[in-house]
A and B are shown apart, each in its own frame.
Chain A
């Protein structure tokens, strides 16, 4: 109270009389529709689950179409994407495999996360029923349900997660802090010191040599940026530099899976250098979907027209493509991406 010596007793009484804290009168009340649109979280007790259901078989189809490209056909994962299945009995070994089956304590977490953030390139695109189905399939991949299982709000609480009892609340204060709060030794703390492990032996540190970085980066930039204006008059009409620049920005949506430029490697998706004008599935060493290989055998060539259609809605052109990307709705985004791809060398 001493912070407000100027307050009169009356004003003080008024302040104190206010129930709870004084409100600022800022903001507005949320509408029920707004709350429903954003409040999609699900709790372990099932609070927040919508009506609906989905079975293992439906989930398998959705999973193969939308998830397997990163997580592998059986949840074993591609590259360093998360492993979703297996790993039982590994938690007390070196490098435990922490999966939905071996580690996750609550089924609600699976449902909530798949619904909220998956597939990686298209979060919040799955319906409630689709999420039930994919969740059911993940349980099946982990041998936790039979193949005829159907997950619904009703069956949700019947599922037992194997590692549900594997967690305990932070006990550092009780277990460690006393040991780590002893007055530290200042002199003659030990007889000698010997080096037991060296980081250089492992040698996994990224090279910090600035000169080398610029050597490797420069060609990529050269490749990514169209020929300078001086070359333009005599060169046949190349892609519009502004469009290329816009395309490079849009390409951020593709980078999670595709690399371009010098030194590009196949990742979740193939390298995209030299795509425009090339036959489909032309990158050596990338494992395309059977659907894409068949389309290539059928003569599909990536012209500006076919690419535009594919980029607008991939699954409309190649129904069983591995690419889980939903597509670019804006025509100008597609035009920009194609210009950007054209600007890249082979």
Chain B
């Protein structure tokens, strides 16, 4: 057992795990004594590491498979690319920074706090420059928000393609941010009455830019410098990034260096040629900022097959909405003939990930699993076919359709679509 335990679930290791599960499932009968109990083990006898061993720790090596992964064929090179959060292996609602997905357009840069400057210019009374130390002196707020790439599930528009929720829904993370409301920074500069839009710009070589309505900026946007209690990671915009709650991740400009106030949008590359949604007739929706309600069962799923055979089974997943909180999540095990209300467990914050659980007694027969999120506006997560009826198959972005997993009697799980 201990020899296998650092490998985690994998397609190759699956049958071995099934055999082990089968042996344990013999349950009721009197079991042979377990040497892990009857024999003294090294960890019962020898000493562990001292407190001076690990000033900052990583997960234990047995969890080495719980990592970000990328899909090499998706992009031209790994510098302007994306990887995926291992949501199939996480629980609760908070995403650890170290495995939270990354999307860069010119690589993750190193920008030190002493070198950090944030400029506010354009239609303001006073064009301003703030240092990182200045940012730390403004009143702060703490909020938990999900951040989802608009292209999450984008490879699935034309049909089930990637086998694993890490790849199909993993361009998402959920962190507790501490930062300064953008409103306070703009007030410091004094927005002129004709100001209607704000251009946010990053300090990396992509010079990432997005036009954001002033109203949204004043409402709930943050310049965040901490996540999950510690500094942002380099790959998430250290030392400061923009947080745009509920709206597509591309707008959350990392390494934020400038906010410009203007009276019209700038129509930059990332809001015209990219992050616009092509409809079936060839026209394109722009400014599709809000992320619609969505959910996915993270386990069981293709990367997290059932290895214990029939009997008690925990079905769990994530749900979120850019419009507010999740009111309810329904789960079906028969492909949508009958739905059951799942249990929401954990905190319920607006525009944050929600965790759901649905505990079943699996009889070992085939299941077709789906989850369906309903947010507090009453919006019900649509099926992929419902979305396609409105948008066709070319839109790339904003695929919030219901995910289907086929669970086979041996516990393997596959990404499928159903009638």
A residues neighboring B (CB under 8 Å): 20-24, 26-30, 34-35, 38-45, 70, 79-82, 91-92, 94-96, 98, 100, 103-106, 108-109, 112-113, 116-117, 120, 123-124, 166-172, 175-177, 179-200, 202, 204-212, 252, 255-257, 267-268
Contact A116 B209 (CB under 8 A): yes
**How far is it, in angstroms, between the C-alpha of A205 and the C-alpha of B381 when the chains are bound?**
25
- Does B361 touch A at the CB level, under 8 Å? no
Contact A170 B338 (CB under 8 A): no
- Does B315 touch A at the CB level, under 8 Å? no
- Using known A-B contacts A27-B129, A41-B201, determine if residue A193 contacts B164 with beta carbons closer than 8 Å: no
Contact B161 A91 (CB under 8 A): no
Contact B187 A35 (CB under 8 A): no
Nearest Cβ on chain B to A206's Cβ, whole angstroms = 6
Instruction: Known pairs A94-B394, A179-B382, A187-B337; list 16 more (Cβ under 8 Å).
Output: A30-B119, A30-B129, A35-B127, A43-B264, A112-B209, A117-B205, A168-B283, A176-B382, A184-B372, A191-B337, A198-B406, A199-B302, A209-B10, A255-B77, A256-B77, A256-B80
Convert B138-177 into 0s and 1s, putting 1 for each residue whose CB lies closer than 8 angstroms to a CB of A.
Answer: 1000000000000000000011111110110000000000
Nearest Cβ on chain B to A220's Cβ, whole angstroms = 14
Contact B339 A187 (CB under 8 A): yes
Contact of A95 among B281, B394, B418 (CB under 8 A): B394
B234-283 contacts to A, CB under 8 A, are 257-258, 260, 262, 264, 266-269, 272-273, 276, 278, 280-283
Q: How many B residues face the partner with a CB closer than 8 A?
A: 109
Contact of B390 among A176, A193, A208 (CB under 8 A): A176
Nearest Cβ on chain A to B388's Cβ, whole angstroms = 12
Contact A45 B264 (CB under 8 A): yes
**How far is it, in angstroms, between the C-alpha of A183 and the C-alpha of B378 when the chains are bound?**
8
Nearest Cβ on chain B to A161's Cβ, whole angstroms = 10
- Using known A-B contacts A92-B281, A170-B285, determine if residue A26 contacts B406 with beta carbons closer than 8 Å: no
- Does B102 touch A at the CB level, under 8 Å? no
Contact A192 B338 (CB under 8 A): no
Q: Which of B201, B272, B276 has the most CB of A within 10 A?
A: B272
Nearest Cβ on chain A to B122's Cβ, whole angstroms = 8
Contact B106 A104 (CB under 8 A): no
**How far is it, in angstroms, between the C-alpha of A268 and the C-alpha of B70 when the chains are bound?**
19
Contact B418 A194 (CB under 8 A): yes
Residues of the A chain whose Cβ atoms lie less than 8 Å from the Cβ of B290: 172
B314-336 contacts to A, CB under 8 A, are 330, 334-336
Contact of B10 among A44, A185, A210 (CB under 8 A): A210
Convert B119-145 into 0s and 1s, putting 1 for each residue whose CB lies closer than 8 angstroms to a CB of A.
Answer: 111100011111100100110000000
- Using known A-B contacts A124-B207, A169-B287, determine if residue A106 contacts B267 with beta carbons closer than 8 Å: yes
Contact B119 A34 (CB under 8 A): yes
Contact A188 B77 (CB under 8 A): no
- Does B56 touch A at the CB level, under 8 Å? no
Contact A30 B121 (CB under 8 A): yes
- Does B284 touch A at the CB level, under 8 Å? yes
Contact of A98 among B164, B267, B278 (CB under 8 A): B278
Residues of the B chain whose Cβ atoms lie less than 8 Å from the Cβ of A192: 337, 419
A-B contact pairs, 19 of them (CB 8 A): A24-B137, A24-B184, A27-B188, A35-B121, A41-B209, A91-B283, A103-B273, A106-B272, A112-B209, A123-B206, A166-B282, A187-B337, A198-B414, A198-B415, A199-B160, A205-B167, A206-B71, A207-B11, A256-B80
Contact B283 A197 (CB under 8 A): no
- Specify the main secondary structure of chain B where it touches its partner: loop
**How far is it, in angstroms, between the C-alpha of A163 and the C-alpha of B339 when the chains are bound?**
44
Minimum CB distance partner of B122 in chain A: A39
B344-364 contacts to A, CB under 8 A, are none
Contact of B368 among A28, A166, A193, A206 (CB under 8 A): A193
Residues of the A chain whose Cβ atoms lie less than 8 Å from the Cβ of B130: 26-27
Nearest Cβ on chain B to A340's Cβ, whole angstroms = 18
Contact B339 A186 (CB under 8 A): yes
Contact of A81 among B76, B106, B282, B393 (CB under 8 A): B76
- Does B13 touch A at the CB level, under 8 Å? yes
Residues of the A chain whose Cβ atoms lie less than 8 Å from the Cβ of B138: 24, 26
Contact A30 B287 (CB under 8 A): no
**How far is it, in angstroms, between the C-alpha of A211 and the C-alpha of B390 when the chains are bound?**
43
**How far is it, in angstroms, between the C-alpha of A200 and the C-alpha of B414 when the chains are bound?**
7
- Does B8 touch A at the CB level, under 8 Å? yes
Residues of the A chain whose Cβ atoms lie less than 8 Å from the Cβ of B158: 94
- Does B199 touch A at the CB level, under 8 Å? yes
Contact of B419 among A105, A117, A183, A196 (CB under 8 A): A196
- Using known A-B contacts A39-B258, A170-B286, A209-B13, determine if residue A189 contacts B339 with beta carbons closer than 8 Å: yes
Contact of A92 among B69, B282, B286 (CB under 8 A): B282
**How far is it, in angstroms, between the C-alpha of A180 and the C-alpha of B76 when the chains are bound?**
36
- Using known A-B contacts A27-B188, A195-B416, determine if residue A123 contacts B207 with beta carbons closer than 8 Å: yes
Convert B178-191 into 0s and 1s, putting 1 for each residue whose CB lies closer than 8 angstroms to a CB of A.
Answer: 00000010011010
Residues of the A chain whose Cβ atoms lie less than 8 Å from the Cβ of B262: 43
Residues of the B chain whose Cβ atoms lie less than 8 Å from the Cβ of A171: 285
Residues of the B chain whose Cβ atoms lie less than 8 Å from the Cβ of A206: 69-72, 167
Nearest Cβ on chain A to B277's Cβ, whole angstroms = 9
Minimum CB distance partner of A43 in chain B: B266
Contact B267 A44 (CB under 8 A): yes
Residues of the B chain whose Cβ atoms lie less than 8 Å from the Cβ of A190: 336-337
- Does B288 touch A at the CB level, under 8 Å? yes
Contact B119 A21 (CB under 8 A): no
Nearest Cβ on chain A to B375's Cβ, whole angstroms = 10
Contact B12 A212 (CB under 8 A): yes
**How far is it, in angstroms, between the C-alpha of A44 and the C-alpha of B211 when the chains are bound?**
13
Q: Which of B78, B280, B303, B379 has the most CB of A within 10 A?
A: B379
Nearest Cβ on chain B to A83's Cβ, whole angstroms = 11
Residues of the B chain whose Cβ atoms lie less than 8 Å from the Cβ of A175: 390
- Using known A-B contacts A29-B126, A257-B77, determine if residue A168 contacts B286 with beta carbons closer than 8 Å: yes
- Does B79 touch A at the CB level, under 8 Å? yes
A-B residue pairs, 7 tightest by C-beta = A193-B335, A91-B282, A92-B282, A199-B415, A80-B76, A21-B187, A197-B417
Nearest Cβ on chain A to B67's Cβ, whole angstroms = 9
Q: Which of B13, B71, B105, B285 has the most CB of A within 10 A?
A: B285
Residues of the B chain whose Cβ atoms lie less than 8 Å from the Cβ of A169: 285-287
Residues of the B chain whose Cβ atoms lie less than 8 Å from the Cβ of A123: 106, 205-207
Contact B406 A181 (CB under 8 A): no
Contact B134 A166 (CB under 8 A): no
**How far is it, in angstroms, between the C-alpha of A189 and the C-alpha of B299 when the chains are bound?**
24
- Using known A-B contacts A26-B188, A181-B379, A210-B8, determine if residue A41 contacts B266 with beta carbons closer than 8 Å: yes
Nearest Cβ on chain A to B366's Cβ, whole angstroms = 10
Contact A120 B190 (CB under 8 A): no
